Structure 1
Amino acid sequence: MRGQGRAVVAMTRIRIRVLGPVQLEVDGAEVRLTPLTTRLLVRLVAAEGEAVPVRTLRRDVWGMADEPRHLAQRGRNEVQKRVLELRRALDPRQDGTAARVLRTEQQVTVAGPETAYRLVPGPGEVDSEEFTAVVGAALLAPPATAAHRLGEALAMVRGRPLAEVHGEEFAAAYIRRLAALQDSARRELVSARTRLGRPDLALPVAESIARDHPDDREAARTLDALRAELRARHGDELLRHAVPLPGRRVDVVLLRGDLFEQQDANLVVGFTDTFDTATDQDVVISRGSVQGQLVDHLFAGQRRLLDEKLQAGLRGVPALGTESVRDKPRGRRVRYPVGTTVAVPVDGRRVFATAYSRLGNDLVARSRHEDLRTSLESLWAAVAVHGQFRPLALPLIGAGLARVTELDRGQLAALIVDSFIAACRRDPALTPELRIVIRAEDLAGTDLGPVEKRFQQAGPGEGET
């Protein structure tokens, strides 16, 4: 029929991998070769496009040097047999790929014409050649481009190049070149990532260089400098992990310090269900508690300002009830549900006041594991709406006077992290960073092992780099 074109038949796709154990892939599937045929393929790759005579192949692949004349024909037949096997593997559809990639030539020698074989792969068909091209371009590129391309190139390396023939003379120069190029790529990647302000990403590469070159003083100095920079950068950081989420970066940080020093972050302050703020004589609220410090640090000691903002935020929240003056003579008497969270605006950021405990009529605050979990879920929801995608800093809620007695400090931190990870999976725009701030005097009594264990169990996320 007119107007109907011929169907286009896709050519066979070949990938020869020698940056590690040798692999041949045809149309995306690995093809298994016999050991001798694998050695033949490696020998032809190591020739780097040069034709290799049959006698050389017999010497290097079969280990048969100076064969007697009466056995020469048998040797040629053995080479032809392996070449035929390789061609069949390269060209299962018989579309001419084998003839293009593996050519037969005749060389003129003093003993007469001799058959030789030349491997002529196309662009991207041998990983070592692609590796060489990518690294060569990356070494001349600006830092961001270099870091990206070098990372891609080094990801091609699966082990020692041409591992099957390591130590053999015919492959020595090829292996040395690839090893030197890999070393240059790693060193430049360390430099690029350092210039980009990512010593954390440069460190594992620098460690691999120092491990492979234990006598290299420059590599050792670079490694020491990176570790020192990271120690200085971390400062009071105790732990930092990326939340295992696909496609985005969210960090959880545990640090030693003062909650109110986190001036670039929104803050979380735990309250009781009555949202009391009075610190007079430490009767209702302790002046040394986070609630008590909130008035002094962010409201210049003016409790009335905080009360007004809390009451404004609570206007739309149904109260659970109101205590009588006789039952509760001191403090506020209106009770709100545990989990109630008020976003209090302060100087362009937010203080999230969240009720995680109940203040008894005896003025003792009490909280349980379930109360804290409920409070955290409400907190994350409020942060998603009012947090303006700022970092979020909170103390170790549940470890103060309203202590959750079922959990120790490490378990409380792990509960907060678990709840936060679950919330991040529900809402991608929660916060770029959660900081759990632990006071220096409380650190000795806080086991961070449960938090580390959570991240080990979760594994790295797609968003982690």
Structure 2
Amino acid sequence: MAGARARIRVKVLGPVQLEVDGAAVRLTPLTVRLLVRLVAAEGEAVPVRQLRRDVWGLADEPRHLDQRNRNEVQKRVLELRRVLAPGDRSGAGSSGAHVLRTEQQVTAQGSETAYRLVLRPEELDSSRFTAIVSEALLAPPATAAHQLAEALSLVRGRPLAEVNGEGFATSFIRRLTALQNTARRELVRVQTDLGRPELALPVAELIAHEHPDDVEAARALDALRAELRARHGDELLRHRVPLPGRRAEVVLIRGDLFDQVDANLVVGFSDTFDTENSEDLVISRESVQSQLVDRVFAGRRRLLDGKLRAGLRTVKAVGTENVRSKPLGRRVRYPVGTTVMLPVDGRRVFATAYSRLGNDLVARSNCEDLRRSLDNVWAAVAVHGLFKPVAVPLIGSGLARITDLDRGQLVALIVDSFIDACREHPALAPELRIVVRPQELARTDLTPVERRFQETVPGLHATD
């Protein structure tokens, strides 16, 4: 009694592959051609004479002279049957005969032997591909997108690549190629309908690459690229944090820090945490601190001062100036790097002292001070940030100018500090959003930032 049928997988959507019971099977070149010829028959029986012509390239001979050629066909058939039924102990491939069947066909010259390959739909990738695409073409968009992606994942190259151009395979290859093109175009359409142009783009690029003269394909690709460009809006840069297990992104946008209403904010202060902007003597009306008073605290400077005082109660001051040496502004000094969390309307403002305000009312800082402040900011964000995006202005580019770094290097320093903090605090924030004012953008070279990511992500822009 024959055993259970082996698990067979015949793959012809690319170079031919045969798997039996999960193991790849190596066939002789002639046996591969025999298998391909039977697959191309799409379930129909193929007479021995036809097999000799298509597989061996032999001309027909009188029956009394072609016994040797028929024996060669039978030898390859037996080899294929044994492969398809590895548990058959008879040695005759009788179990494999259920998959590769022998039949007799009546012709004008008499009865003739023919062979039929009988594979279930799940055993032949081209059958699975055809069934999935046919179903997807009638499905609603979300279902169709899933099914079409599944079907196209079966494609590894040109169908029946080993016999491309041979007459017996022409119609089979043409049908599968046409169905593949239909599936790709339909996938582009449904992904676009679903508002996912980023998923449609690689498929559209593949279509345009394979059909360079197709005007419609080129037009569809241009439309997708234009839609994706428009999506960026004021976004100038976006990269994933290059650390395993971290789902955080670094984004740089052109805009206004105080328009980032979905994010926590980082605002730089001097070591005295001054907020007074009268007559532009202590802090400038154009400074981020002054805008914080107007844009977040609705002009209520005393409310901001009260929150700052509350946050600084636990911080030990490093000194206090007298009225004679510092007649204007606050006189109590705190360590550079001091960071105060200010709760405001369900989000947080992180006020950090990254500069020293001299008695001449000139703020001064350097890259070491800025890095210390940023490190303390990220530590505070990890505890109090509610896992919201955190928006940061280009700290160090204003009046407290860090002269040893240009704007691009300042951005890179902020990015580096955030990435390092992500190593220490896995749930720091889902997004670091660096906000560059439009008037600063022309003077900000972002090359250092892109170089950082290129260096930290192997092969990011590798060329062949």
TM-score (norm 2): 0.85
Distance change >3 Å, CA 76–CA 339, structure 1 → 2: farther
The aligned amino acid for 2:407 is R
Deviation string 1:236-271 (CA, Å, 9 cap, x unpaired) is 222233445778864432221222222333222223
Name 2:10's counterpart in structure 1.
16
Q: What is the SS of the residue equivalent to 2:341? A: strand
Distance in 2 of aligned mates of 1:395 and 1:319: 27
| Identity level (%) | 74
Name 1:324's counterpart in structure 2.
321
Q: What is the SS of the residue equivalent to 2:122? A: coil
Paired residue for 2:69, among 66, 75, 86? 75
In the alignment, structure 2 segments of 5+ residues that lack a partner are none
Distance in 2 of aligned mates of 1:426 and 1:28: 44
Structure 1 residues 234-383: aligned runs within 5 Å: 234-243=232-241, 250-316=248-314, 318-325=315-322, 330-360=328-358, 363-383=361-381
Instruction: Report deviation, 1:186.
Output: 1.6
The aligned amino acid for 1:348 is G
Deviation string 1:257-292 (CA, Å, 9 cap, x unpaired) is 222222333222223343332334444433323223
Which is higher, the Rg of structure 1 or of structure 2? 2
Name 1:126's counterpart in structure 2.
124
Q: What is the SS of the residue equivalent to 1:313? A: helix
1:61 aligns with 2:60: no
Deviation string 1:275-317 (CA, Å, 9 cap, x unpaired) is 332334444433323223222222233322222122223334x
Structure 1 residues 419-434: aligned runs within 5 Å: 419-421=417-419, 423-424=421-422, 429-434=427-432
Distance in 1 of aligned mates of 2:420 and 2:95: 52
Name 1:450's counterpart in structure 2.
448
Paired residue for 1:417, among 399, 402, 415? 415
Q: What is the SS of the residue equivalent to 1:278? A: coil
Distance in 2 of aligned mates of 1:139 and 1:229: 25
Distance change >3 Å, CA 291–CA 192, structure 1 → 2: same
Range that drifts further, 11-20 or 195-204: 11-20
Instruction: Report deviation, 1:413.
Output: 2.7
Deviation string 1:151-172 (CA, Å, 9 cap, x unpaired) is 2222222222222222222222
Distance in 2 of aligned mates of 1:375 and 1:90: 69
The aligned amino acid for 2:72 is E
Distance change >3 Å, CA 130–CA 350, structure 1 → 2: same
Distance in 1 of aligned mates of 2:65 and 2:415: 74
Is contact 2:184-2:203 (8 Å) kept?
yes
Distance change >3 Å, CA 147–CA 459, structure 1 → 2: farther
Instruction: Report deviation, 1:441.
Output: 2.2
1:34 aligns with 2:31: no
Range that drifts further, 45-54 or 61-70: 61-70
Q: What is the SS of the residue equivalent to 1:161? A: coil
Instruction: Report deviation, 1:220.
Output: 3.0
Distance change >3 Å, CA 81–CA 212, structure 1 → 2: same
Q: What is the SS of the residue equivalent to 2:441? A: helix
1:436 aligns with 2:434: yes
Distance change >3 Å, CA 266–CA 120, structure 1 → 2: same
Is contact 1:101-1:122 (8 Å) kept?
no
The aligned amino acid for 2:102 is T
The aligned amino acid for 2:213 is D
Distance in 2 of aligned mates of 1:426 and 1:11: 55
Is contact 2:319-2:334 (8 Å) kept?
no
Q: What is the SS of the residue equivalent to 1:436? A: strand
Name 2:388's counterpart in structure 1.
390
Instruction: Report deviation, 1:363.
Output: 4.5
Deviation string 1:351-376 (CA, Å, 9 cap, x unpaired) is 22233344455544444444444433
The aligned amino acid for 2:15 is P
The aligned amino acid for 1:201 is L
Is contact 1:391-1:435 (8 Å) kept?
yes
Instruction: Flag the structure with more relative contact order, 1 or 2, with Cα contacts below 8 A and sequence separation at least 6.
Output: 1
Distance in 1 of aligned mates of 2:188 and 2:201: 7
Is contact 2:318-2:335 (8 Å) kept?
no
Distance in 2 of aligned mates of 1:75 and 1:382: 83
Instruction: Report deviation, 1:69.
Output: 4.6
The aligned amino acid for 2:67 is Q
Name 1:167's counterpart in structure 2.
165
Is contact 1:319-1:334 (8 Å) kept?
no
Is contact 2:250-2:431 (8 Å) kept?
yes
The aligned amino acid for 2:449 is V
Instruction: Report deviation, 1:53.
Output: 2.0
Is contact 1:131-1:153 (8 Å) kept?
yes
The aligned amino acid for 2:395 is I
Q: What is the SS of the residue equivalent to 2:14? A: coil
Is contact 1:271-1:357 (8 Å) kept?
yes
In the alignment, structure 1 segments of 5+ residues that lack a partner are 1-8
Range that drifts further, 25-34 or 124-133: 25-34
Is contact 1:244-1:459 (8 Å) kept?
no
Deviation string 1:118-169 (CA, Å, 9 cap, x unpaired) is 2222342222222222222222222222222222222222222222222222
Distance change >3 Å, CA 243–CA 205, structure 1 → 2: farther
User: How well do the aligned residues superpose, as a CA RMSD in angstroms?
Assistant: 3.2
The aligned amino acid for 2:261 is Q
Distance change >3 Å, CA 319–CA 138, structure 1 → 2: farther
Distance in 2 of aligned mates of 1:97 and 1:315: 86
Distance change >3 Å, CA 438–CA 178, structure 1 → 2: same
Distance in 2 of aligned mates of 1:220 and 1:155: 23
Is contact 2:246-2:422 (8 Å) kept?
no
Distance in 1 of aligned mates of 2:420 and 2:132: 40
Instruction: Report deviation, 1:447.
Output: 2.6
Q: What is the SS of the residue equivalent to 1:124? A: helix
Deviation string 1:218-250 (CA, Å, 9 cap, x unpaired) is 333322322232232222222233445778864
